[in-house]
Amino acid sequence: MIGRRRRAGRHEITAHAPRSAVVTGAARGIGEAIATELVGRGYRVLVTDLDAAAARATADRIGAAGGLAYDVTDPAAAQEVVREARAIAPLGAWVSNAGVGFDGALTELSEAHARALVEVNLLGPMWGARAAVAAFREQAATGVAHGGEIGVTVSLSALGPVPGLSVYAASKAGALSLVSGLASEVRREGIRVHAVCPDGVNTELLRGMKPGGQGQALVRSGTLVTTEQVAAGLVEMFGRSRVYRTLPAWRGAMLRLTALLPGPMLRLEPAMRAVGARKARSLRR
């Protein structure tokens, strides 16, 4: 909380220099865990979500500075959220966590779901990053504060092909590419950009996938990580040059290998799906 000094790697927020932070999709799940982590590290956190009432309730519960409604697909709304955060304290961090996870093969997805995957998972972080970078630059130019952090919740699926989640994986791969490119574009300004790429997390997104479907089974074939692990994995990169990390690391290596050798590796897909289906059945017992 404000008034206590916490270290986040080499990054600190002190009672003498509070900074604000925005977390999108933060009313519950991973976003709530990230907002809680940032509150604990001294940020004045603005909890945002499509559900305004849930955002305010979460903000009250975790001791955040406030909560409000925000649609990440609206570029103008990103600018307004930045203004709200800067009214609390100079902007120190922007975390694009909001995401959707509609599963299904490319030919099965509705047009609305396909568009939402791209607009929320890729364009959402893009509009947020543009607004945050503009704020960081203005603060530096006026001597208010230097630099800042941008974080994006991506997915392990960004690193390789995921049958049954092909459009979702493509949107996340685009988000990871965006993070990597932007990190290079702004690093000389003291702005650091990071992404966390977790394996499956037992949130509403995973539970909302088709029971017994190919996508859910493949996700469950790995290691389910907790929302707290994802939050810590992202925020611990603040103040450092590291661009992204995978959780767990071994699954990241496996997905990268799949991307390099898609033909041979995808022959293992039926076996992996069977493992995921068995795990899902055991959880229902």
| Domain layout of the chain by residue ranges | 6-213+223-261
Residue 3: which region, alpha, beta or left (left: phi > 0; alpha: psi -120 to 50)? left
pLDDT in tens, 151-160: 999 999 999 8
* Average pLDDT, rounded, for the chain: 85
> Residue 251: what pLDDT?
72
Active site residue 168: yes
Name the strands in the sheet holding 91-96, side by side, starting at the edge strand that comes first in the sequence. 66-69, 44-49, 20-23, 91-96, 148-153, 191-198, 244-247
Q: Exactly one of 43, 70, 168, 244 is catalytic; which is it?
A: 168
Q: Give dist(CA 272, CA 266) in Å, integer.
A: 10
Q: Give dist(CA 47, CA 62) in Å, integer.
A: 10
Q: What is the mean pLDDT of residues 213-234?
A: 74
pLDDT in tens, 91-132: 999 999 999 999 889 999 999 999 999 999 999 999 999 999
CATH of 6-213+223-261, one of 3.40.50.720, 1.10.3720.10, 3.40.640.10, 3.40.50.1100: 3.40.50.720
